[in-house]
Structure 1
Amino acid sequence: MSLFTNSSSPLTDAWAGYLSQAQTHLFTNSRLALIALINAPVIVILLHACWQLVAPRDPTKPPTVFHWLPFIGSAVQYGNDPLNFFLACREKYGDVFTFILFGRRVTVALGPKGNNFILGGKSTVFNAEDAYTHLTTPIFGKDVVYDVPNETFMEQKRFVKVGLSTDNFRSYVGMIEDEVDEFMKTDSVFRAWQMNDINEWGQFDVVNVLSEITILTASRTLQGKEVRSKLDKTFAGLYNDLDGGFTPLNFLFPNLPLESYRRRDRAHEKMSQFYVDIIQKRRASGEEDEHDMMGALLKQTYRNGAPLKDHEVAHILIALLMAGQHTSSASGSWALLHLADNPDIAEAVYQEQVKHFGTPDGKMRSMTYEELRTLPVLDSIIRETLRMHPPIHSIMRYVRDDVPVPATLSAPSKDSIYVVPKGNYVLASPAVSQMDPRVWKAPNTFDPARWSDPEGVAAQAFKTYVDESGEKIDYGFGAVSKGTESPYQPFGAGRHRCIGEQFAYLQLGVIISTFVRKVELRLRDPVPAHNYHTMIVMPKKPRNILYRRRAFD
């Protein structure tokens, strides 16, 4: 009988049984493998969690925040709401603790003492370049800011301060006022104002408007007449592509093969050449003495006698444009939102303007730089805005060597002092200090009046920040107050304190004053929550402000 007939036989029956068993066995094993594959991540997570609970902890190291996900760590909680994450960790672990951020070990030190420990630390140990150069160099460019040794960066900050002179500030006031006025006259979002009808209400997205206005005002004042004259769609496109590289994703993963990264690099190359072309034309025409930042930089030399190279001047100007635009547009947006939410406070600002600058015919005259500095209501609005909404909530440094934490800050016991190990990052959060309920009364309430009490917490914090005793430190860019022990640090502290602080006050003061003079402001919705998914903390949408033209502007 042939083996290949349809007839049944003991051999064919055995073969069929074998195949059936094999199929059953294969199916069972495949199902078990699939189940194991699906459950493997769960098993890994559970084992990781158990290990954190049972593993012996080194008492000399700050406690590590419990987290479920290996490598990712506490990234989700930190990224969504860093302030509440830090405050919750403080309740459990104290002012010093370490959390995992995509494989990085980040040691946080909270409060004024924590800020002083990190921001007042030696740059050779707590290093900013190692923490930020992978983010900033592709945007700002080579040979400036964090792409150079710290002592070179300090010299470059000294060069920039030359362009931030009082004489220049005096001329900037009118320029900024003119730019805001022209924007409101020409941009379609202010059509209701342009109709000259005091009963017509309009609305605008405050972030969109302030982003444009801060670029216009910064370019008109700091960047130079050539840059301001070429702010067209081409420049805007380059700026947006370059700005696309300034995100938390770029900070955490600097070398992803994404189109946004390639657009960033192309935009930097074109914008750098844009500035170099202007510089070379100035040199060729002998117009190097313009009273703007470019003119100031072209005259500077390093201590070794070497002049700034054209590409260095270009990259410093790019850094000023990018960093200043983000921080000023954020702060200006928050200020106008709070004024719209508090009409009585907005009215107080307006009446202050009328008192100082009102004319007999019901108009307003222009203010001077000196006058701008003597407006207490406006000043308190800016300070309170910066307290509640500092543009940067976290300041990081890379740890180059083991560093003991001061006993007054860690001290889990008298016989134990924490040591932050080499290879960690450290993080200071002035935002926590500025919103700490242990320091500030009703910290979540927008209350500019707190700054008018000479004996109050706010006044004392500001006094410590500016160091009115006159004790200054020169880190290489001129004497400044250290300010690292204050619970109020809106512009950072120590050697990396923002040198554009006075310009920021000037820019914000003129923009706020001009808006308040021209329009009444209202909010339909509550003041927006913080959007922590951006490098600079912006308001979440909706962020529309209603406005109505004043009878006299």
Structure 2
Amino acid sequence: MDWDYYTLLKTSVAIIIVFVVAKLITSSKSKKKTSVVPLPPVLKAWPPFIGSLIRFMKGPIVLLREEYPKLGSVFTVKLLHKNITFLIGPEVSSHFFNAYESELSQKEIYKFNVPTFGPGVVFDVDYPVRMEQFRFFSSALKVNKLRGYVDQMTKETEDYFSKWGESGEVDLKAELERLITLTASRCLLGREVRDQLFDDVAPLFHDLDKGMQPISVIFPKLPIPAHNCRDRARGKIAKIFSNIIATRKRSGDKSENDMLQCFIDSKYKDGRETTESEVTGLLIAGLFAGQHTSSITATWTGAYLIQNKHWWSAALDEQKKLIGKHGDKIDYDVLSEMDFLFRSAKEALRLHPPKILLLRTVHSDFTVTTPEGKQYEIPKGHIVATSPAFANRLPHVYKDPENFDPDRFSKEREEDKAAGSCSYISLGAGRHECPGGSFAFLQIKAVWCHLLRNFELELVSPFPEINWNALVVGAKGNVMVRYKRRPLS
């Protein structure tokens, strides 16, 4: 059919009118929907989208410090084509930590871990499988397992510090990183790695660690030297553990008390056994989750205690009382009695959580109510974020939040519970609380009870700054300490 010019013009106009009317109806419905519960305020930036990205890349904590007083506990930042909505504070964070995966998902956000952890584990599997794998972690961290781990932790600690002289200076951060790697290797990776293959495996894990760069979050497979080195190390680790797993299975010996054996023995609900690839990936994930948190928190705990004579004396007094009660014995029960040392580590972790941002993808709309009573709708497609590093220092939750004060967690105060279950989020909270917290605190207490009992310590370098540029945030530079050996009588 041949259409003349006027017919084509009228048809085009009609199509445009239909499109505009449809758009107006859609817009009207959208406005009608959001007029009841509005969207969160949006951070204004110039140029649009890119301006916010520039500020965000300079440091999310700086951005939060500047905008939280203006925009409140719920606001959105537009980063290119993404909308990131911050939920800051216990009053608005409950859904973040307690929602089901079908509502708020981790998988899309943390997919960048797959090249490091490997295929078929954690964020490379569907939620039901991931939950079963987390059940394997929980089984490996039950109290009966932790009791055995303590013996291994204390032996590694005693052996390590026996190599120190009568006096000297050391980089406390570097020393604790090495020691935590040794204890984690023995408890998690197994006797074969610790006794025979540690010198081979430790550098490989170091290469894996260095392969997790800030750019890896966006481009995890970008062919840069750090990623290439990571991939080679991952392949070598897989071969080493495949041989260990196969040897253990052939021997039929299940007497080893380590996470490796727990994963080998684990079965899914359908009766399927874990594969060598899955065991290797879960071990790598477990080591990454625990090693950084333990070594970073152990360093900050020591720096604060050594710097402050009052808190150092309180820690010493606790050890003297326990020696009077139990002698030199150190086991799970004795470590469990170290309440002040636990509170000190917990306070260091409040001030310095290694993960400064936690993220989820929104799969279904939900609403939040601010402390002021304002309601906002968080729509599907947004990314929701919260920041332990910022939320843990809110003055309406914690008294003098910038100060190191272990007594804020005492039974008389319990500041972490006063504002609700999401007040302390260094290890997550609710449905997504880290299952390895008990293991990490045991490691830290095993290390520091030995140092307190056997050494006088003095901080000789300035108190450490925070290394905000790292993907996992710890102390910046060296933490130099002068030590002198002495028994605690």
SS in 1 for 2:412: coil
User: What CA distance in whole angstroms lies between the structure 1 residues aligned with 2:297 and 2:289?
Assistant: 13
SS in 1 for 2:483: strand
Counterpart check, 1:366 vs 2:366: no
- Equivalent position of 1:169 in the other structure: 146
2:124 to 132, 143, 147: 147
Deviation at 1:228, TM superposition (A): 0.9
Mark the runs of 5 or more structure 2 residues left unpaired by the alignment.
Answer: 1-30
User: What CA distance in whole angstroms lies between the structure 2 residues aligned with 1:552 and 1:110?
Assistant: 44
Matches within 5 A, 1:258-269: 258-269=224-235
- Equivalent position of 2:101 in the other structure: 123
SS in 1 for 2:39: coil
- Equivalent position of 2:200 in the other structure: 234
1:157 to 124, 134, 140: 134
- Equivalent position of 1:82 in the other structure: 60
Gap change, CA 1:280 and 1:434, over 3 Å in 2: same
Deviation at 1:295, TM superposition (A): 1.5
- Letter of the 1:118 partner, please give it: F
- Equivalent position of 1:398 in the other structure: 361
Gap change, CA 1:540 and 1:249, over 3 Å in 2: same
Partners of 2:345 and 2:444 within 8 A in 1: yes
Partners of 1:381 and 1:448 within 8 A in 2: yes
User: What CA distance in whole angstroms lies between the structure 2 residues aligned with 1:169 and 1:456?
Assistant: 26
- Letter of the 1:521 partner, please give it: L
Matches within 5 A, 1:194-343: 194=165, 196=166, 200=167, 202-343=168-309
- Equivalent position of 1:434 in the other structure: 392
Partners of 1:430 and 1:487 within 8 A in 2: no
Q: Provide the alpha-carbon RMSD of the alignment.
A: 2.5
Partners of 2:92 and 2:369 within 8 A in 1: no
Partners of 2:320 and 2:488 within 8 A in 1: no
Gap change, CA 1:257 and 1:85, over 3 Å in 2: same
User: What CA distance in whole angstroms lies between the structure 2 residues aligned with 1:123 and 1:253?
Assistant: 24
SS in 2 for 1:527: coil
Partners of 1:430 and 1:490 within 8 A in 2: yes
- Equivalent position of 2:486 in the other structure: 550
Partners of 1:95 and 1:410 within 8 A in 2: no
* Segments ≥4 residues shifted beyond 6 Å: none
Partners of 2:465 and 2:475 within 8 A in 1: yes
Gap change, CA 1:442 and 1:225, over 3 Å in 2: same
Deviation at 1:459, TM superposition (A): 5.7
Gap change, CA 1:102 and 1:408, over 3 Å in 2: closer
User: What CA distance in whole angstroms lies between the structure 2 residues aligned with 1:75 and 1:521?
Assistant: 44
Mark the runs of 5 or more structure 1 residues left unpaired by the alignment.
Answer: 1-55, 465-484
Q: Percent identity?
A: 33
| TM-score, length basis structure 1 | 0.77
User: What CA distance in whole angstroms lies between the structure 1 residues aligned with 2:277 and 2:174?
Assistant: 30
| TM-score, length basis structure 2 | 0.86
1:423 to 367, 373, 381: 381
Aligned residues: 455
SS in 2 for 1:431: helix
User: What CA distance in whole angstroms lies between the structure 2 residues aligned with 1:400 and 1:353?
Assistant: 50
Matches within 5 A, 1:97-136: 97-101=75-79, 103-133=81-111, 135-136=112-113
User: What CA distance in whole angstroms lies between the structure 2 residues aligned with 1:101 and 1:332?
Assistant: 35
- Letter of the 1:518 partner, please give it: N
Partners of 2:350 and 2:392 within 8 A in 1: yes
Counterpart check, 1:493 vs 2:449: no
Deviation at 1:306, TM superposition (A): 1.2
Q: Give the number of the structure whose alpha-carbon radius of gyration is greater.
A: 1
Range with bigger deviation, 373-382 or 231-240 = 231-240
- Letter of the 1:105 partner, please give it: N
Deviation at 1:168, TM superposition (A): 2.4
- Equivalent position of 2:114 in the other structure: 137
Gap change, CA 1:69 and 1:235, over 3 Å in 2: farther
SS in 1 for 2:270: coil
- Letter of the 2:193 partner, please give it: V
Counterpart check, 1:457 vs 2:457: no
- Letter of the 1:442 partner, please give it: D
User: What CA distance in whole angstroms lies between the structure 2 residues aligned with 1:244 and 1:263?
Assistant: 9
Deviation at 1:374, TM superposition (A): 1.6
